[in-house]
Structure formats: C-alpha cells, structure tokens
C-alpha cells in the first residue's frame, strides 16, 4: 500500500506509524482509518517487529473523527451507515487482536477518537503539551465506538464523567486516571517513547504474545475457567525454546537471543 495519510517507518524491531495530516490535526478519516488498520496489521504480522508506536505529525496526536465526513453521513441511508460503521470499528478491535504491543506517543491534543486510540494502546506516554478528552457531546455525538477502551482505562465512574462533561484533560490529569502511563517534556517524548518500545522489544516475543493472549482472553472469563486456560498457556511457555534460552542466558550472565518459539 502507498500511504497517503500516514508514515510507516521501521527501526530494528520497532515499527513507528505516524498519522500525517498535520494541517487537519490528524483526524480519523475513512481513508486514514483504512490505512491505519492496514499498517498495524502489517507490523503485527512481521515477526521482526516487536513493538508498534502510534503518534501524530505536527502539534496534534489526533483530533478524532472528521466533521466533513460526519456531515456527509446525514445524507446516507441506515444500511450504508451500518456497513461503514462495521468498517470503522475494525480499527478499535485491533487493540484486543494484535499480538504486538501498541504504544501511544501522545505528542499533542488527542480528542474524541484520538483519546480512544490512546486508550486502545497497551502503553501510553504523553508530552506535557498533550490534552485528552471525550468531546463528542459538544457536537451532538456520542463516543460509541471508543467507549469500551476508555471505560477499561479509567473505570466506570470516570468514564461517565468524561463523557457527560466533555471536559478536556491535561496530560497530568490523564495520568492520574490511568489514561496514559507516563508524562514527559516535549523534548523527551520521542526518545523516551523509543526507549520504552525497545525495552518491550527486548523481551521474548513469544512471552509477550502469551502475555497479551492471557490478559485479553481471561478478562471476561469465569475465574475458575481462567485458571485452566492460563495453565495451558503456562505449558506452552514452559516448553518453549525462549524460556530455555532465557534461563540459560541468565545463568551464563549474558543477553538472551530470542527465537520466538
């Protein structure tokens, strides 16, 4: 695919995806959403990629949905809107489907769907210039698609407050409610994000995949059944080449060489 709305880069075991419509504050248009889904899946299917960074070009991370496209929706039929809605949700399903950690590098305002992207990522680091919030009600909209991710990140009561007040939070406020994990200065963001990505990428890719598998597949599972499921994953881990290599490297006081098997 030739990308028109984003930049796809690779740095050793890290993929960096940059939303690249800075003059529009990197909105999630139909085109950019399609390209973002493709880029994330491409990186996730590459065995050499062990962490994926999402960020925005210019001063914004993402302004969320595109108002011009919302206006066009008023002229469409219910079946058309339903079909397009199914396509748009593909992006926000990826957070629970990919086996490669997603890291949000929030370089500026991330509003509406932008906040949803941040909440979807497994890790999030933000610049002090970042602002986050569910501003949909200001436009007569509802944050339908991103609701599950934001609820998971901040909890039921805070999600309700964010949605009904449509308030914009600072990076520090977002950290206080677990919407982002770390806050750094603008000058440090790129380096600190890459440092975090490389840390994640340094671990056994098999163990990382199993970690995400265990987390998402047991979330809604009955507790007793979850122990059985996790015991099965534990068996895979204990019989893996990566665990043997990790234990051997530790005893030999050297860095492990992971095979992902």
How do residues 98-118 score in pLDDT, each as one tens digit? Answer: 999 999 999 999 999 999 999
pLDDT at residue 81 in the model: 73
**Strands of 131-133's sheet in order across:** 110-111, 131-133, 169-170
| pLDDT exceeds 70 at position 177 | yes
CB atoms within 10 A of CB 142: 11
- Which position among 136, 161, 241, 252 bears the catalytic label? 136
Residues 6+ apart with CB under 8 A from 223: none
pLDDT at residue 82 in the model: 72
| pLDDT exceeds 90 at position 34 | yes
Assigned CATH class of 6-201: alpha beta
136 as an active site residue: the answer is yes
| pLDDT exceeds 80 at position 210 | yes
Asked whether the whole model's pTM tops 0.85, one would answer yes
């Amino acid at each position: 695919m030739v990308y028109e709305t984003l930049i796809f880069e690779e740095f050793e075991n890290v993929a960096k995806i940059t939303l690249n419509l800075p003059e529009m504050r990197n909105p999630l248009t139909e085109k950019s959403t399609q390209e973002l889904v493709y880029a994330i899946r491409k990186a996730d299917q590459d065995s050499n990629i062990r962490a994926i960074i999402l960020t925005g070009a210019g001063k914004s991370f993402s302004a969320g949905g595109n108002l011009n496209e919302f206006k066009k929706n008023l002229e469409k039929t219910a079946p058309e809107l339903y079909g397009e809605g199914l396509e748009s949700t593909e992006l926000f399903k990826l957070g629970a489907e990919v086996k490669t950690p997603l890291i949000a590098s929030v370089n500026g305002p991330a509003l509406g769907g932008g906040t949803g992207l941040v909440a979807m990522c497994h890790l999030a680091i933000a610049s002090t210039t970042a602002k986050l919030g569910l501003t949909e009600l200001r436009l007569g909209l509802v944050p339908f698609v991103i609701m599950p991710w934001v609820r998971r990140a901040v909890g039921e009561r805070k999600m309700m407050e964010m949605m009904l007040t449509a308030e914009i939070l600072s990076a520090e406020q977002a950290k206080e409610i677990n919407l982002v994990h770390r806050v750094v200065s603008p000058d440090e963001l790129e380096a600190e994000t890459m440092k975090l990505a490389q840390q994640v990428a340094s671990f056994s890719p098999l163990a990382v995949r199993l970690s995400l598998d265990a987390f998402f597949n047991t979330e809604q599972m009955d507790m007793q059944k979850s122990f059985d499921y996790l015991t099965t994953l534990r068996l895979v881990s204990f019989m893996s080449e990566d665990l043997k290599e990790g234990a051997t490297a530790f005893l030999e006081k050297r860095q492990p060489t992971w095979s992902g098997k």
